[in-house]
Structures are given as structure tokens and as C-alpha cells.
Structure 1
Amino acid sequence: MTHVEGAEAVDGPADGSATAAEAGPDRPLRHNRDFLLLWSGASLSFLAARVTAVAYPLIVLWHTGSPLAMSVVSTAALLPLLLVQLPAGALVDRWNRRRLMLVCEAGRLVAVGSVALALAAGRMTVAHLAACAFVEASLAVFYRLAERGAVRNIVHPAHLPTALAQNEARGRAAGLLGQPGGVLLQSAARWLPFGFGALGYLVSALSLLLIRKDFQQERADRTCRHRMATEVAEGMRWLWRQRFLRAALGYVAGTNVLFQMLALALILRIKEAGLPSATLAVVLGIGGVGGLCGALAGGRIQRRMRQRMLLIGGAVAWALLIGAMGLTSEPVALGTLYAGTGFVGAVFNVGASVYQVRTTPDALQGRVAATAGLIGSGTNALGSVAAGLLLAAWGAETTVRAIAAAMAVLALLAVLAPDLKGEITDDRTDTGTGSITGG
């Protein structure tokens, strides 16, 4: 049996409260009332966030006509990914998850509700929008980290792959519906996207109040509080000791760079082919369907394949699909190939989520997820810069082929990397109560 060095115990649900195990592994997940409440409420929350995210830059550009003002608001919405994630992870592990999620939904309701009222009254300012975008995105980071840690305390361990696959599908569907929905609502009335967002956050908060199970285990050191930097460092040290997770995150960072490059290369590819800009919407729409299908299938695939094989197989499939994208500019073909990359990416996301949630002690869930998220999102800027340089020098077709070659190199490195052979196998983590010892 394969182990990860330095791994700690995988904690089970708290014994003193209603536990996820009560439902039993033989009872379908669709009969888990608390999970359905959490999932449906979070679905509305994610959809509301997608709708308002696309509305912010549209509203600013419509009111001011200034691309610089639009950039200010967009940057304010992205800053929390860099500034908030690490402290948010520590606070999520310190605070009560349910109460924190309720505060997040209440705060987001107030923020977007104030934007809706300001727009309805004709009193919109760029400073107000930027502040609300920053607050909404910051609270979204807290909510996402808390909800991810809560899931394994709501569902039976045997249902965790299915639950996280449904969460991935929820995010993909929110993206598919939220972006065009935000545009349509904004076209009907400028305040409508934010009114919809406020309603979504309200319903999400109400669903949290109806859930009976605890969102976390009892904290043995509840009265012991360390400095924030100490708690953040504790999560980072734990993650660093996990050989497999550490190597897998390096792989993820590399693929994220390449996919940032691919997204920009696709835009230029369509322009160089003389196709209308609406073609991009078709390509991205088809690609989004592929991602949704991958999310729905991810739980079943994850149960049949080890994480290392998902990493290697995914990189090989990505290299072939992206390589083929360098050989065609036909919109349907590009969209179909892009859908293939989205399918693989969604399956990998499900597998990675299941592995991280299962192997991370409950008391460290927020900090480990935040550190992993920072590594993943932190590479996006590097990908954008690299794409700009390569596209200017080589053009879209050659850049896409270079991306495919780089993905093939990542697949080879994944095959050779010794740390990716140190995976914790599912039979040691499915129970949620066993101890994982260092190898």
C-alpha cells in the first residue's frame, strides 16, 4: 500500500452530533436532506456571483465609457484571490463554518443590494462599485473555503466523490448560465443583475439555517489561538510534507499557466482566421458543455482511476487535443476540441478535490485549500504575460502548438516524478476515521 510521508490522521465526523455516517453508504446521496440544502443554496450563491461578476465591468463601461474605470473595478474583484486566500483559510479553520457562511451571504447581500439601489436611483460611482466588487469577491473566498470543508461532514465518506462531482458540475453550470444571464439582465435594467444577486444570497442564507448537521468536528484546542501567521504557516507546512500533493500542485500550476495562454491564443486564432467575434462565444459555449459533462462524470471516473493516472492521462489527452486545435480554425471543430479539454479538466478537478478533502485533517481544511488555491490562481498572471510575448512573436497557430508540446512535457514529467508515486490509496481514506501514517 502506498503512503504519503508526514501525513496526519484523517478525522471522521464528530461523534457528539448528527453525523454524515447516519445516512449510511447504501442510502443514495439524493436522500441526504442536508446535502441537498447545502448544494442548492450554494448553487444559487455561485450563480449570483457569476451574474454580478459579468455585470460589474458592463455597468462601469456603460456609465463612464472609460476602459480604465472598467479595469479598476475588474482588478478590485480579482485582488481577493491574492490578498485574502491565506488569511481566509486560517480564519475558516478557526471559526464556526456555518456562522461564517451566513455572515458571508449577509455581507454579499448588503453589498450587491446597495449597488442595485444606487443604480435604480441613478447614483452609481466607480468607487462604490470597486468597493462592493472587492467585498463580494472577498466574502466569496471565505464562503468557498468553508463550504468545501463542510461537505465531508455532511455526507457519508462513500458519497464524497459524488458530492464533490456535483459541486464541480454546479460551478460549471453557474458559469454557463451566469455570464449570458448577467448580460441579459443588465440589458433589461441596469440594476437587475445585482437585484438577482441579492435574492440569490438571501435564499442561500435561508438554506443554511435549515441544515441540521454540524459543518465541522469539535476543535480540541478551541480555546488556544495562535497568531495568524503561525496558523497559516501550519497549513503550509502540512501541505509541504505531503509528497504527492506537493508534486501534484506543481503540475497544476504548470497546466494553469498553459491554459491561460490557450485562452488568449484562441481569441487571436479566431481573429487571424477572419472570423467574427461572436465565433468566440460559440467556441467557449461548446467548451463549457464539455466541462459540465466532465463534472457529471467525474465522480464515477475518480472511483475507477488513481489520482496519478488522472494526472498523466489528463496531460496526454490535453496535449493531443490542444495539438489538434493548432491544425484547424473551423469554429465547430475548435469548440469540440475545447470541450474535450474542459471535460478532462473537470474530471481532474473532481479527483483533485476528493483527494485533498479526504487526506487533509478537518482542522486544516481551510488553510490547505487556501494555499492550494493561491498556488493555482497565482500562476494565471504568468500565463497571461507569457501568452502576450509568444503571440506577438509567433502568432496564434505556432503558440497553440507550443502549448501542446509543453503539455506533453508535463505528461512525461508526471510519469517520471517519484513523488507522484506516493499517493494515499482510497482504501485508507474512504472510512473517514482511519489513520494515515507516514511511509
Structure 2
Amino acid sequence: MGERVKTARSHREEPLDAAVRPVSLWRDRDYMAWWSGNGLSSLGTAVSTLAFPLLILDTTGSAAQAGNITAAQMIGTLATLVIGGALADRVSRRLVMAVSPLVEALALGAVALLVYRSDAPVLALAALALVSGLAGGLRTAVAAPALRRLVPKEQVATATAQGMGRDMVAHIVGTSLGGVLFSVTRWVPFLFDALSYLFVTLGTLVIRRPLGPDRDPDTRSGPRPGMAADIADGLRMVRRSGYLMFTIVWGALLNAVAEGFTLLFIALLHHRGGGPTQVGTATSLALVGGVIGSFIGPWLMRRLGALRVLHLAAWVFAASFAVIVWVPEPWQIGLVLLVGMTGMVPLNVVTESYQVRLIPDAYLGRVAATSRFCVQVVQWAGPLGAGFLADAMGVRGAILVLAVAMITLALALFGGSRQLDLLRTPLGEVRELPLLTPERPAHP
């Protein structure tokens, strides 16, 4: 049963007076509880993400076995994303946000125990990673609708950017911390990650605002449609908006290209004589670029407008593909990646923040989860295709092919100008799509 709210319009924010500036999110107690809890969880995830392959490589020497652990967790997340989106629109989001991390904590705690006892078969580790992924998919699905309740509409882009920047900083710190903890003793990184999930639950429980969903008045006098019908309604809502249809498909293709590029830049560094230290440095520079992008993204949206930022970011990212082929030194490759990621993050801020503002609260869980699922379900094709290209035509040739693909995606933004016309509207003035009703079905 969804949470009750004190007023009938709790999730439909009224426009602020032009003279009133929103209070800084850093001074918002509820927002900070959400931000810090999820930040500590991201730090723990970065620690265990490094520790898992190190553990498997040390015990089995098999890179394929290490990949199986990562694949199991990703499969688990994808398996529950869409279901989690439907749950976010029909049961207490606070409950999902509080319980799912506890399941993740138990799974990682069990991993720590197995490693501590020197009894950690790969099959058991993969099963626990799958369980963690299943719970993580539910938690991820609730994130967007919960954030919508926590921040004013004028600050959605800022909150989205701050979340991206937080996770990138956590990844930078967590990668180094994971190596240190693993060198101390193998089980400590997994216990660290298990404990980090508890802060998500704690942060959720101290939030005072209702997180929804509101009770649907159409279901008070009769049974509510099943989960399959809820998921179908989410898809109908996506089809109603040309903006959503375009950005979901475009974002999925972009994600596949970006994942392929990630593999190839490591191969290029190796080809240029870079060792593990150089790879780590270049990766850190890329993440620093992401952090910079998270800071300037909302500022650029206010100064240039969301549509211009989207075009500019896409072309900056495309240019980084082409330039990286010609720079000779590993540190120069890192600097090019820094610039590319500085453009990539504002692009994501634009698409995600407008999606959050466009979708009514009653459907946001389903639509956000469907969008994330579509984007992630094809990301495996990027590294796979990039690997085949590198074997067939060399690393430089493969990167140039991806550069052409990225330029094509940037040009597609001009072709989708009608679907992207929404981005000409300031974020705070975006009107929600009308609710679906049985009497008035959605039209594409």
C-alpha cells in the first residue's frame, strides 16, 4: 500500500515566486540523508567491484571466471529493474529503499564470511552476486521517483548532477581503497561493502518527507490491476512522448558505443606502452572529467539551454574519440578522456532530469526503470563489437569506427529536433504528461 500524504497536491509542486531562490540542497536534511547514504553505498560498491576480480584471479587465475561474477550481478540487476519500477508505483518506496539494501548487505556479508573461511567457490560467489544484483535492481528502480519527492522541480538537474559527481568521486576513492583493503586481508573489502549498504537503509529511515506513491483513487473501491498491467501502462506512457521514445533509443545506442570505447582506450594504452599504473591514472583523469561535468552541467543548462548543452556535449564526446587516436602518450590519452567525460556527464544530466520532470509521479518508477533497462540491456554489445573490430582492423581502426558511430549519433540529434523540442522549455516549466485513464487510452 502506498504512503499517505498530508495534502492532496504533495507531489505537484507549485511554481516558486521568481524572487524566491530555492534553499541549497546541501542544507536540506532529507536530501542529505539520501545523498550521503547512497554515496557511502557507491563507495562500498567500488571497493568490492575491484576486490571481486582480484580474488578470483588470485584463487583461480581465470579472467573468464572473474567476468562471470560481474555478469551475474548485472543479470540480476536487469532481471528486477522493470519489476522494481512497477513496485515503486504501487507499494511504499520507503519500504523498498530500506529493505533492498539489507538484502545486498546480507549477500556481501556472506561473501566476506566465505572468503574469511577460505571456502569461496566461484559458483557460490556468483550466486551471491546474483542475489545482490536482484536486490540492487529493485533499489535502483526506486531512485528516480524518490528523488522527485525530495527536491523542488527547479533543482532536479542540480540533484541529478550532484548524484553523478558523488558516484564518480566514490569510484575514484573506492578503487584505491579497495586495493589497500584487499592487500590487508581479502575478506575486508566485502565486509566494507556489506556495511556500506546499511547506510542506505539508515538514510532512508530518517527521511521525513513522504516518498509515495500516493494511493490511486481509482483502485480504492476495487482490486488493483496486476503487475503486468502496471508495466504495460509504463510502456504506454513512454509511447505517448516522442521525447522519451527518442532519448531512450538514442541513449541505449550511446551507452553501447561508450562501453566499447572504454574497452578500446585500455587496449590503446597497452599498445602505447602503458602499464597498470598508467591505465589507472588515465581512468582517474576520465572520472575527474566526469566530476567537473557534474558541477558545470546545471550551470550550462541555465546559461545555454538544455538543447544546446545536449548538442555540445555529444560533439565534445565524439571529438574525443577522434583525437585520442593521434595523441602518443598515455597521460595525453587521459587528458583527452577528461575532456570527453566533462562533456558526457552534462548530456546525461539533461536527458535524465527532463525525464524526471515530464513523467507524473504515479508512473515515474515504471518509466524510469524501463528507460534504464533499455539503456543497459544493449551495453554488452559495445565491448563485444569493439573487441571484434580491434581484432579485425587494429585498435586505432576500431576507435575510428566508433568515432564515426558517435558522429552519427550526434547528427541524429538534428534529425530528432521535433522530438527534442521539449528541451527548449526551461526545466522548471516542463508540464507533466497527462495521466492514463481507461476511458482515454494513450496514443503514440
Same fold by TM-score, threshold 0.5 exceeded? yes
Q: Does 1:26 align with 2:22?
A: yes
- 2:273 and 2:423 map into 1 onto residues whose CA distance is 50
Q: Does 1:430 align with 2:428?
A: yes
Residue 212 of structure 1 and its aligned partner are, at CA, apart by: 0.7
Instruction: Give 2:122's aligned residue.
Output: 126
Instruction: Give 2:251's aligned residue.
Output: 252
CA RMSD of aligned residues (A): 2.5
Residue 303 of structure 1 and its aligned partner are, at CA, apart by: 2.8
Counterparts in 2 of 1:75-114, with a 5 A limit? 75-114=71-110
- 1:177 and 1:213 map into 2 onto residues whose CA distance is 31
User: Would the aligned equivalents of 2:359 and 2:433 in 1 still touch at CA under 8 Å?
Assistant: no
Extract unaligned runs of 5+ from structure 2: 435-442
User: Would the aligned equivalents of 1:79 and 1:134 in 2 still touch at CA under 8 Å?
Assistant: yes
User: Would the aligned equivalents of 2:283 and 2:334 in 1 still touch at CA under 8 Å?
Assistant: yes
User: Would the aligned equivalents of 2:93 and 2:212 in 1 still touch at CA under 8 Å?
Assistant: yes
- Structure 1 residues 59 and 14, CA gap change in structure 2 (3 angstroms): farther
Secondary structure of the residue aligned to 2:319 is helix
Q: Does 1:186 align with 2:182?
A: yes
Instruction: Give 1:36's aligned residue.
Output: 32
- Structure 1 residues 265 and 71, CA gap change in structure 2 (3 angstroms): closer
Q: Does 1:210 align with 2:206?
A: yes
Residue 36 of structure 1 and its aligned partner are, at CA, apart by: 0.8
Instruction: Give 1:406's aligned residue.
Output: 405
User: 2:7 pairs with 15, 21, 37, which one?
Assistant: 15
Instruction: Give 1:67's aligned residue.
Output: 63
Residue 346 of structure 1 and its aligned partner are, at CA, apart by: 1.0
Q: Does 1:169 align with 2:168?
A: no
- 2:12 and 2:161 map into 1 onto residues whose CA distance is 17
Instruction: Give 1:278's aligned residue.
Output: 277
Q: Deviations over 1:48-84 (max 9, x none)?
A: 2222222222222223334343233222112124322
Deviates more, 1:140-149 or 1:32-41: 140-149
Counterparts in 2 of 1:258-337, with a 5 A limit? 258-337=257-336
Extract unaligned runs of 5+ from structure 1: 1-12
Instruction: Give 1:116's aligned residue.
Output: 112
Instruction: Give 1:370's aligned residue.
Output: 369
- 1:380 and 1:109 map into 2 onto residues whose CA distance is 27
Count residues in correspondence. Answer: 425
Instruction: Give 1:4's aligned residue.
Output: none
Residue 226 of structure 1 and its aligned partner are, at CA, apart by: 2.1
- 1:415 and 1:292 map into 2 onto residues whose CA distance is 28
Counterparts in 2 of 1:378-389, with a 5 A limit? 378-389=377-388
- Structure 1 residues 42 and 153, CA gap change in structure 2 (3 angstroms): same
User: Would the aligned equivalents of 1:80 and 1:138 in 2 still touch at CA under 8 Å?
Assistant: yes
Residue 165 of structure 1 and its aligned partner are, at CA, apart by: 1.4
Residue 262 of structure 1 and its aligned partner are, at CA, apart by: 1.3
Q: Deviations over 1:371-429 (max 9, x none)?
A: 111221122122122212211121111222222222222222211224334316545x6
Residue 98 of structure 1 and its aligned partner are, at CA, apart by: 0.7
Q: Does 1:349 align with 2:341?
A: no
Secondary structure of the residue aligned to 1:422 is helix
